[in-house]
Structure formats: structure tokens, C-alpha cells
Amino acid sequence: MAYPAARAREVDLVIVGAGPAGLFAAYYGGFRGLGVAVVDSLPQPGGQVMAMYPEKPIYDIAGFPSVRGRDLIDGLMRQAAPFEPLYLLGQQATELHRSDDGSLTLATSAGERVTCRAVILTAGVGTFTPRRLPAGNSYEDRGLMYFVPRPQDLADQDVVIVGGGDSAVDWALLLDGVARSVTLVHRRARFRAHEHSVAQMMASPSIEVLTDHEIVEAGGTHTLEHVRVANKRGNERSLKCQSLVAALGFVADLGPLAEWGVELRDRHILVDTTMATNLPGVFAAGDVTEYPGKVRLIAVGFGEAATAVNNAMTLINPEASLFPGHSTDQPC
């Protein structure tokens, strides 16, 4: 098999996906003495957490009453850092091949080739592409955005947010008190977002909520300056707007992983109780997995990552124990 500009590397374990489950798997692999490489198509670790809601408080991580997405990822990176995992970021895992000796070789879109004994897929929903806002297309990178990595960048701006899901409502709440003004535009009367978040938003005197409205036009000389909205009766209104946040959801795609031969159900990878897939040496953990009773939470993904690593360990080294011992038993 020929790989363009291939750079050969060798580790014990390759993790595909650098979201929370993947980063915890990187720590756990290092804790078990494995050499680990982490591959992700995004240019920075953190997966959807860093791409979509880095400033959002997360309330269901054990031991943390509340933790920002950015801080959670920073903590996971610091946890894994002593074991020096190899990060191959900004490149997609494209091909997986098995040698006669049972070793696996993973190729990436950047021409990397990594040989290993086991692979753990922690790909979340795969690559995700935001749904576009047609009325604002011409203002991409000039005021139109699909994610809000740093709310402070929108300080003292008039911000219009489009959407009715959790991301739209969460960003409205995060920007309240940061932006000069916050207006949320939703084409329906009902919201898909969490009821408590919607109630908080509706109770804020400084967030204007326009339901049954749509963005029909965006305008400005060089950068975005205003948008025009219309309700179902055709009544129109112009809003000052320097930043237009389109939170319309995204299209998820497992990409090449779906062609590797792993058994799928509705774009999720079927695993057994060891987190093993139908492919020898290939495990999975986190939101990408499917099994009876599956619950898609970050907290669940952490446990699945530990299970996958420990079972991969017995495959890599048949003499190793499945139970790793307690971390408190290890020397400092």
C-alpha cells in the first residue's frame, strides 16, 4: 500500500478523536504504560466541547459542581501530559490496515502512518459541519459566525443569534452582560433547548427574543452592520448587528471510519461490554458507541474510555492484568 509523503511512527495505542473521552483514554493509556498517539481532524484538542461551547458551564462531571468546557479540556490535557502522548491534530484518520502479525497501521490525510497494536475510536459524532444561514452567507468571516469560542471577542457589540436549540440559548445567556445587546431570532414559537435555560433567557430583561421570525437579509459596507428580520405575517424590522451567530445545528459524518468495516447502527459503532468492535484490535468509547442502554454523556464516555484501554492492554500484552490497580497505589 502506498502512502503519499508517509511519515512512519510506531506506538502501542492509537486513539482517533481528541474529545473528552479520547483525552481521558490518552491519560489512561499512559497510566498503563502504553505509548499513545491521538489523531483528530480539528486543529486543537477538545472536540465539540472546544469547537462549540468552550465557555459553557458543564454540570454533570463527577467531582465538579460546574466546570467550563475550556477548563475541562485543559484539565484533561494536563492529566495526560506526564505520559507525553503524540498529538496528530488537523488531520483525518483515513485508512486502517492489518498486517499478518496482527499489528494495525493507520494512515492520515496529512500523510502520517502510525503502526500500533490497538485502536480506540472516540470520534464523537465524527466531523461536523454547521448548517449554513443563506441570508448571511456573504458575511462569513465578516460578522457571520457559527461558533463563539471566546465571548469576550463580542464585547460591546450588537449580537443577533439565530436558532432555537441548546447552543443558541446557551450563547444568548453567555453573551448577556458581555455584548452591548443580545437578540435571539427563532423561526418557531417553541424551543428545542433545555426548559430551564429557556426560562432563564426569557427572564432576562436584556435579551430580546423574537419568535416566529427569520433573518431575511444581512447588510453592511465592508463588515456586517445590520440584519433585517421578518415575522410570519411579513412584517419586517431592521436590527443593528455587528456579529450574527447562526446556531442552526450541524451535519455529522463519520467520514472514512464508516468504510473501515466496523459494524454500525444509525452512524454509531456497535461495541460489546469490553468496548470492542467487530474488528480485532479496534475498540470504541464515548458518544460514537452504541449498545443496549447507551447514555450519551461525557461522564459515561470517561468510564467507557477506561474500559476500552484496559481491555486493549490485555490484547497488547497478554500477560498484563485487566485490572490496572488503583491510581492511589502508584508512587507519586
| Feature table: binding site for FAD | 40, 48, 53, 93, 128, 287, 328
Q: CA–CA separation, 277 vs 295, rounded Å?
A: 18
**SS in 3 state form for the chain?**
CCCCCCEEEECCEEEECCCHHHHHHHHHHHHCCCCEEEEECCCCCCHHHHHHCCCCEECCECCECCEEHHHHHHHHHHHHHHHCCEEEECCCEEEEEECCCCCEEEEECCCEEEEECEEEECCCCCEEEECCCHHHHHHECCCEECCCCCHHHHCCCEEEEECCCHHHHHHHHHHCCCCCEEEEEECCCCCCCCHHHHHHHHHCCCEEEEECEEEEEEECCCCCCEEEEEECCCCEEEEECCEEEECCCEEEECHHHHHCCCCEECCEEECCCCCECCCCCEEECHHHEECCCCCCCHHHHHHHHHHHHHHHHHHHCCCCCCCCCCHHHCCC
What is the residue whose three cell numbers read 469547537? 51
| Residues contributing to the annotated binding site | 40, 48, 53, 93, 128, 287, 328
Q: CA–CA separation, 164 vs 51, rounded Å?
A: 19
